[in-house]
Amino acid sequence: MKLNNMVTGSYEAFNHYSSGAKIVLLHPRSRYRSVLIARLLNSPEYQTLYYAMGPDDVSVPAFLTGLRHDLASQHPEFGHHLDLTENRPDAGKMEQWLSALAADLSEWTTDPFLLILDEYDRADSADDIQQFIEQLVPLMPPHGKIILNSRTLPRLSWVSLLARNLAVILEDEHLVISDFYDHRRRPDGPRLEVTALGPGYVSINNNLISTWEGHLPRLLFFFALDRPTVTRSEICQAFWPDLDVDQAVNVFHVTKRRLHKALGEDVLVHIDGYYRISPELNVVYDVVDFVGALVRARAAAEQDRMQYWQEAINLYRGPFLQGHDDPWIVARRADFLNGYMEAVIQMAEARHAKGAAEHALRLYLRALQEDPVREDLHRRVMQLYAEMGRRSEAAAHFQRLQREFKAARRKLSPETEEVYRAIMA
């Protein structure tokens, strides 16, 4: 009876917290992961596609072959688009596979559905499968979710997926809201304070690190913070994609030695075939705190959300690793900006609902500084000006927007022009 109650609690927590997510991780610490999977498979609320990862899932082609075979036995009509990719040329194959699987999932059913990937830890060593699943998440149809059940923490960038409100991590009936990668294991160990929202700084025991011997050791440290664990091949592909394998490995080891020299600690350690931040350190990372504030705000009762939105706003001091334009940094920067925009807009709406129109206006203008082409925000600004009896400022805002869009060869939407006409009328 107790087990049944606990599983019921986990199932209710799943339905409550995952309503808007595209991927749900059942945390490895969860006691009832497998029983919850069984409950989901028998739930009348969802259509389910089930695949248990196996020893042959060592690459994306092998994974898709196994997935296609098993799902065809469950639902013979599934997989038409994946079948077509077999006869296409190899160039851009990853993009073809992603598009094909996303299309098959979209067309399979119009009911809410789950793609359950069980025993996902069997794919731990397959870098391309981790990349494939992370890229599949934003392509999932609105009525579908990926469920990962794993004995280890999957090597996806969970902080970025959480920042974009695409993911949730559940530990039985509890939502995981902090320390997503178990980086804070030793409160009595050397204390690393890390800020990446802005230019990026690292201090150890209150001493700011400035002796990096170039930017690569510093960026290697931030890259290792991005995921629970990383492989050497992932690091080499991100930093030195144009070098051959031996050259890239040599440069990696030199960079790692410089990182350890700069911090005076063996920060990046090799455990069970993967690199990760040493569990001997006490890491305080503003990105984790920022994402935690977002997760708390989404899950909190309405009267408590504003404090968490404000906490996220305060932690965002600028674009992620401002001043660098490496592809992996640019991708993460967009993810964290998405979370910041959510916090500012939600706070603006909350302030407006409480009658603080001037405060709401300032928040919308602050959001537009980060994303000046968001027409929906420009419309809110004009409407707030009009609501406060400041029609001339609404008109000036529209005319400035019109000039900026014209200079950028962009066309204003009919909705924005209609808001302006309504205000002027």
Nearest to 384 by CA among 405, 372, 398, 371: 398
**67-79 per-position pLDDT tens digit:** 999 998 888 888 8
Query: In which band, very low, low, confident or very high, does the pLDDT at 134 lie, cut at 50, 70 and 90?
Result: very high
**293-341 per-position pLDDT tens digit:** 999 999 999 889 999 999 999 999 999 999 999 999 999 999 999 999 9
Bigger pLDDT: 9 or 150? 150
Q: How many angstroms separate the CA atoms of 239 and 231, rounded?
A: 13
- DSSP secondary structure string, 41-87? HT-TT-EEEEEE--TT-SSHHHHHHHHHHHHHHH-TT--HHHHHHTT
Percent of the chain residues topping a pLDDT of 70: 97
Task: Note the pLDDT of residue 190.
Answer: 82
Tokens of 366: 């602050």
Kindly list the distances between the CA atom of residue 206 and the CA atoms of 65, 192, 410, 412, 413, in Å, as whole numbers in the listed order: 52, 8, 48, 50, 51
Query: In which band, very low, low, confident or very high, does the pLDDT at 387 lie, cut at 50, 70 and 90?
Result: very high
The CATH 1.10.10.10 domain(s) of the chain lie at 191-284
Task: Note the pLDDT of residue 88.
Answer: 57
Q: Which fold has domain 2-175?
A: Rossmann fold (3.40.50)
Task: Note the pLDDT of residue 364.
Answer: 97
CATH of 294-424, one of 3.30.450.20, 1.10.3210.10, 3.40.50.720, 1.25.40.10: 1.25.40.10
Query: In which band, very low, low, confident or very high, does the pLDDT at 182 lie, cut at 50, 70 and 90?
Result: confident
Task: Note the pLDDT of residue 92.
Answer: 66
The CATH 3.40.50 domain(s) of the chain lie at 2-175
Over 70: is that where the pLDDT of 3 sits? no
Residues 224-251, mean pLDDT to the nearest whole number: 95
Say what the pTM is. Answer: 0.93
Bigger pLDDT: 5 or 103? 103
Query: In which band, very low, low, confident or very high, does the pLDDT at 378 lie, cut at 50, 70 and 90?
Result: very high
17 neighbors 165 (Cβ within 8 angstroms): no
Task: Note the pLDDT of residue 1.
Answer: 47
Nearest to 37 by CA among 54, 49, 22: 49
Residue 275, SS3? strand
Task: Note the pLDDT of residue 188.
Answer: 76
Instruction: State the average pLDDT for the chain.
Output: 93
Kindly list the distances between the CA atom of residue 176 and the CA atoms of 45, 162, 182, 293, 315, in Å, as whole numbers in the listed order: 24, 11, 11, 12, 19
Over 70: is that where the pLDDT of 239 sits? yes
Task: Note the pLDDT of residue 187.
Answer: 72
Over 60: is that where the pLDDT of 52 sits? yes
**Level-2 CATH architecture, domain 191-284:** Orthogonal Bundle (1.10)
Over 60: is that where the pLDDT of 249 sits? yes
Rg (CA), the chain: 24
